[in-house]
A and B are shown apart, each in its own frame.
Chain A
Amino acid sequence: MSFFDSYDFTGESTAHLARLINNVNTGVWEYNTITKTAKWSKGFYAILGYQPGEIECSYQNFFENILYYQDKQPFLKATHYTGPAPAPVAQIRLLTKQQGYQWFESSVLKHDDDDGSFIYGVLNNINQYKIAEVKAAQADFRCGETGRIARLGGWDIDIASMTLNMSREVYNIFELYGDIKLSIEEAISFFEPAYRQTIAKAVDDAIKYCKPYDLEVQFKTAKNNIIWVRAKGIPVIDDFGRCVTVRGIFQDIDIIKRDGLSMQSSINLLDDKNKRLQNFAYIVSHNLRSHAGNLKFMVNLFEETKAEADKEEIFSHIKTISESLSATMGHLDEIVKIQSEIGKERKLVNFEAMFNNVMALLRTNIDAANVQITTDFDEVADINYIPAYLESIFQNLLTNAIKYKHPDRNPIINCYTRRDDNHIYLVFEDNGVGIDMKRYGDQLFGMYRTFHHNKDAKGIGLFITRNQVEALGGSIAVDSTVNVGTKFTVRLT
C-alpha cells in the first residue's frame, strides 16, 4: 500500500517504518512507564554524536546527564501534557558528544498500549534555526534600542490600501501607547497647523509623483508636547514606475533643533552687532573725515587769503570746525559708554518717577514749545532696567518730539506702557511733522542721518536710543505719517 492511501502505518509496513526510524536523521525514543525502560533509535545516538550503544540508554541518563538542567521543566511539561492533542512541542538543549549543548525540538506522543503505558518522542536538531532566531532577536533588540536612543522610528504607507504602519518608536514619539491604529489624515493632524499643509503635500507628492521628501517640522504629541521632528519619506515603485509604498523615518530632533535655532539666533545677533560696528566705523570715519577735510581746507584758504576781513571769517569757521570735532568726540564717548554701561546692574526703575525727572530737565524746552504731555504708566509701573538708559531713552524721544513738532500746532505727546505675555513696551506718540517712512524708514535710526531741514538736527539721538535698547535685548519700531505724527514702540524686555 502506498503512503498516500492512508495516514496509518499498519501490518507489514511496521518493519519498513522501523527501518525508516533507524535511518532518518531524527532521534526517536520510546519509554515504558511501567517497566521504566527506554529505547533509542540509531538516529537518537547519531544526532547526539554517538554510535549506537556508546552511551547508556536510559531515561535516567537522558534526564540527568544529557538534558540541560534548566530545560527539565519545559520537557516534563510537554511530556506529561494531558490536554487535547496535539501535545505541545518543547525546545530543549541537549549535551552532544563534541559540540556542547545544542537546541532540539522535542515532540511527544503518549500511547496507552495493552502492554502498558508507552510514551514516544521525536527529537530534531534545530540548533541552526534557534541560533538564527537568537541572533535575529538580538539584532531586533539592538535595532529597537538604537531607535529608542536615537528617538527614531520607521513607518510605511501601503498605497493600495492607503494604510499607515508605524514602528513602536514612532508611537513613542507620538506619545501614543496601546494599540491605536492611525489613518494617514490622523497622523498628519499631529503636526502643528503651520506645517500641516507642507507635510500633507509632501506625502501627496510622494504618492502621486514619486517625489521623496525630508522635512524638519513642528509636531504636537498626544500629550500636547510641541517638539521638532524630522519626517523623511521615500517612495518605493513597482515595475511600471508607480508608487506602491512610501517608506520613511520619523525622528524626534527637538534638542538638536532647539540648540541649532538658539545657535542661529546667537549668530544673527552677532551678525547684527558686527554690521552695526562696521556701519559705526564708516560713519565715524566719514564724520571725522569731513571735519578734518574742512579743517585742512580752511587752513589752506587762510594761508592763501590776503584780505584781513576774509581771514577773520575763515578763522571763525575754523573755530566752528573745532567745536564740531569736540561734539563728534562727545558722540563717540556716548556710544562707547553704551557698551561699557551694559554690564551695570539693572535696577527697579519707576516709569513715572523717571519720566518726571526727564521732564524737569527739559522744562525750558517743553514750556517754550507749549508741549502738552499725557502719560499712563498704570499697565506697567516699574521695570528692571539700567536707569541711565531709560533716562536717555525718555530724553531722546522727548527732545525728538519737540524738535520735530508741527509748525501749525502745539505739540501733544502721549507716553504709556504696555505688557504682553513676554514683553514690556514703552509707547511714545506725538502729533509732529512725521516722517516719510517709505523714503527714510530704513535710515531713521542711522547715525548722523537727518531728514528735515532743521538746524538743530544732529542725527545722533535716535541712533543712541536704538543702541541702548538693542544692547539690552530690546527693539524699537516706528510708525509715522507725514503731517500727522509719529509713534515709537520700544520693546524694553
Chain B
Amino acid sequence: MSAERKMVTACIIDDDDIFIYGFKKFMEIKGVFAEILNFSNGQEAIDYLKDPSYADKLPDVIFVDINMPVMDGWEFTHNFEELKSQMGKKVSLYAISSSVDVNDINRAKKNPVIEDYILKPISETYIADIINSYQPGLRNAN
C-alpha cells in the first residue's frame, strides 16, 4: 500500500462567527490538511461527541472558547472529561479565549484535561503546528 496522508479532524467551539470564519480561512491559507468541525457553543459540541452515528468522525483536536452562551468552555471541559474514556480515540483539548483574567488562566493551567490555554488574538502558525502535530501520516506508512 502506498503511504496515504490521513486527514486530521479539528473542532472549533466558539460563539463568535467571525472568529470561526477567520480560523477556517487561515487553515486553508496555511495549507493545513484538516477537516474542521465548528459549533457555536459547548452543548452543540457535546451533542455531536455523544452521538454514536458520528463515532467514526470524532475530531483529533478541539479548540474551545471560554465565554459562550448555553454551555461555556468550563462546563464543556467538564462534560468532555466524562466522555473522554468512552471515545474510541484520543482527543486533545485546547482552550482559546481573549480573557486575561488570571483566574481563568490559572483554572485552565490547573486542569489536566486542557493541553494549553491560548490567548486571542491567536497565532495562526501555532494553531497550524498543533493541528499538523496530529497528522498521523508518517506513522501510518506501511
**Contact surface of A with B, Cβ cutoff 8 Å:** 282, 285-286, 289-290, 292-294, 296-298, 300-301, 304-305, 310, 313-314, 317, 320-321, 448, 450-454, 457
Contacts and interface: CB of A to CB of B under 8 A. Distances in A.
B21 A317 contact: yes
Contact of A297 (B22, B29, B41, B99): B22
B67 interface: yes
A297 to B, nearest CB: 5
A300 B26 CA distance: 9
Contacts of A289: 98, 100, 120
Interface string B1-41: 00000000000000010110110011001000000000011
A305 B29 contact: yes
Nearest to A310: B25
A320 B18 contact: yes
A275 to B, nearest CB: 12
A286 B16 contact: no
Given A293-B98, A294-B22, A286 B67 contact: yes
B121 A451 contact: no
Give the interface centre of B16, B41, B69 by most chain A CB atoms within 10 Å.
Answer: B69
Contacts of B18: 294, 297-298, 317, 320-321
Nearest to A450: B69
B138 interface: no
14 contacts: A290-B16, A290-B98, A290-B120, A293-B120, A293-B121, A294-B121, A297-B22, A300-B124, A301-B25, A313-B21, A317-B18, A321-B18, A453-B70, A454-B69
B82 interface: no
A392 to B, nearest CB: 23
A180 to B, nearest CB: 60
B120 A453 contact: no
Interface string B106-131: 00000000000000111010000000
Nearest to B66: A286
B3 to A, nearest CB: 30
B16 A294 contact: yes
Contacts of A286: 67, 98-101
A328 B29 CA distance: 31
Nearest to A282: B101
A296 B98 CA distance: 13
Given A451-B70, A453-B41, A457-B69, A296 B21 contact: no
Contacts of B69: 450-454, 457
Nearest to B26: A301
Report whether over half of chain A's contact residues are helix, strand or loop; otherwise say mixed: helix
A457 B98 CA distance: 19
Contacts of B98: 286, 289-290, 293
A278 to B, nearest CB: 10
A81 to B, nearest CB: 91
Nearest to A454: B69
A79 B69 CA distance: 104
Interface in B49-95: 67, 69-70
Nearest to A457: B69
Given A290-B16, A290-B19, A290-B98, 14 more contacts: A286-B98, A293-B98, A294-B22, A297-B26, A301-B22, A305-B29, A313-B21, A317-B18, A317-B21, A320-B18, A451-B70, A452-B70, A453-B70, A454-B69
A294 B25 CA distance: 13
Contacts of A313: 21
B37 to A, nearest CB: 18
Contacts of B29: 301, 304-305
A138 B54 CA distance: 96
A297 B40 contact: no
B4 to A, nearest CB: 29
A315 to B, nearest CB: 12
Q: Which 10 residue pairs are nearest across A and B when measured between Cβ atoms?
A: A293-B121, A290-B98, A450-B69, A289-B98, A293-B120, A297-B22, A317-B18, A282-B101, A296-B121, A286-B99
B70 A294 contact: no
Give the interface centre of B29, B40, B98, B122 by most chain A CB atoms within 10 Å.
Answer: B98
B73 to A, nearest CB: 13
A321 B17 CA distance: 11
Contact of B67 (A285, A294, A317, A448): A448
Contacts of A452: 69-70
